[in-house]
Amino acid sequence: MPLVTTKEMFENAYKGGYAIGAFNVNNMEIIQGITEAAKEVNAPLILQVSAGARKYANHTYLMKLVEAAVIETGLPIALHLDHGDSFELCKSCIDGGFTSVMIDGSHLPFEENIALTKKVVEYAHERGVVVEGELGRLAGIEDAVNVSEEDAMYTNPDEVQEFVEKTGVDSLAIAIGTSHGAYKFKPGQKPQLRFDILEEIQNRLPGFPIVLHGASSVVPEFVEMINKYGGNMPDAIGIPEDMLRKAASMAVCKINIDSDLRLAMTASIRKYMTENPSHFDPRQYLKPARAAIKELVKHKIVNVLGCDGKA
């Protein structure tokens, strides 16, 4: 089976009340860990590549590694550009075989976001590629941000219909309180998401797939392991898994996970190197790192996303 788009995955996920995991990939071990996990639990997959990942690993290397994963697993896998920031980058990924791209115009004024997104959609759709757009800005932890500024960053439900109609996007990333990275809430702050906004968006766009970025749970087990083996991440905190499960049961069809993979890999390597200080064969520490990613992804698929058995 060749690489697929997310169209059918999202239709089934929406109807079934589950979400597809979109995992960021940067190298062979990460791709293997994720795809071996998905194979074991028969889950559809989105593998996503950021501009930084593409720069680090090279488009062709990533493309060929993902093609190898398709051959090895036989799973429906979509290859997606994460946070495309220009028409040129999206075009390059579309021309180079990706089946899905994100054009992230969320920092632009509304009309400019529409114009840029529409341009990418026109190019992509003519070539059978699907497009994710974004409205609203993901929160970052900034002490200087006051409540009304914080409110202004959430996606405004009044804008979603116009955005989707005018651009023709296939899915929409929204901001309801998640954020990128390992520090999603301030120390002592109670994690919360604006499910009221998600519900309102769902009402305005019935049946339309919504995307959640910044959705790592920052698994405490890995943070503890990193701290135990010489790291220093005392205030790392993520989105509670029950909240992600709830989002997946609603209109959220794609849940983006990167930081949790990084933490699993780093925790495993720190532990291995501490326990085996004289080892220097990369295969020795990358093997448990790959296994840690595999276990994490299986857990996410079965306990958080609910897409096991849906491939």
Sequence-distant (≥ 6) Cβ neighbours of residue 56 within 8 angstroms: 26
d(CA 189, CA 200): 25
Q: Quick one: 5 or 256, whose CB is closer to ligand G3H?
A: 256
Please state, in angstroms and as integers, the Cα–Cα distance from residue 229 to each residue in 94, 242, 260, 279, 291, following that order: 42, 29, 17, 16, 18
The nearest distance, CB 241 to ligand 13P, in angstroms, is 13
Q: Cβ of residue 139: shortest distance to Zn ion, in angstroms?
A: 12
CA–CA dist 171, 208 (Å, integer): 7
Q: How many residues lie near Zn ion (CB under 5 A)?
A: 1
Decide: 53 and 62 in contact? Cβ < 8 Å.
yes
Task: For tokens 């797939």, name the residue.
Answer: 209
Binding partner at 271 among ligand G3H, Zn ion, ligand 13P, none, C-beta below 5 to 8 Å by kind: none
Instruction: Give which of ligand 13P, ligand G3H, Zn ion, none residue 216 binds (C-beta under 5 to 8 Å, depending on kind).
Output: ligand 13P
Using the minimum distance from each CB to ligand 13P, give the nearer residue, 171 or 259. 259
Reported in sequence order, the residue ranges of 147-190 that DSSP labels E, i.e. its strands, are 171-174
Q: Kindly state the smallest distance separating residue 293's Cβ from ligand G3H, in Å.
A: 15
Closer CB to Zn ion, 70 or 211, in the complex: 211
Q: Which is nearer to ligand 13P, 128 or 140 (CB)?
A: 140
CA 113 to centroid of chain Cα atoms: 21
Whether 242 is catalytic? no
Nearest distance from C-beta of residue 120 to ligand G3H, angstroms: 18
53's contact among ligand G3H, Zn ion, ligand 13P, none, with CB below 5 to 8 A by partner kind, is ligand G3H
DSSP code, position 207 = T
Question: Interface with Zn ion includes 184 (CB under 5 A)?
Answer: no
- Written in H, E and C, the secondary structure of 127-174 is CCCEEEEEECCCCCCCCCCCHHHHHHHCCCHHHHHHHHHHHCCCEEEE
Residue in the shown chain whose Cβ atom is closest to Zn ion = 213
Is residue 260 within 8 Å of 304, Cβ to Cβ?
no
CB of 138 to Zn ion, least distance (A): 7
Question: What is the Cα–Cα distance from 193 to 204, expressed in whole angstroms?
Answer: 19
3-state secondary structure 210-249: EEECCCCCCCHHHHHHHHHCCCCCCCCECCCHHHHHHHHH
Contact letters for Zn ion, residues 189-218 (x by CB under 5 A) = ------------------------x-----
Task: State the minimum distance, in angstroms, from the CB of residue 256 to ligand 13P.
Answer: 3
Half-sphere exposure at residue 22, Cβ-oriented, CA atoms within 13 angstroms:
31
- Which residue, 36 or 260, has its beta carbon nearer to ligand G3H? 260
In the range 213-242, which residues lie near Zn ion by CB under 5 A?
213
Q: Select 181 or 231, whichever has its Cβ closest to ligand 13P.
A: 181
The residues binding ligand 13P (CB under 6 A) are: 24, 82-83, 180-181, 213-216, 256-260
Q: What are residue 169's phi and psi, to 5 degrees?
A: -60, 155
Which residue out of 82, 104, 170, 308 is catalytically annotated?
A: 82
Evaluate whether 161 touches 199 at the Cβ level (below 8 Å): no
Binding site for ligand G3H (CB under 6 A): 24, 50, 52-53, 82-83, 180, 258
**Where along the sequence are the contacts to Zn ion (CB under 5 A)?**
213
- Catalytic residues, which ones? 82
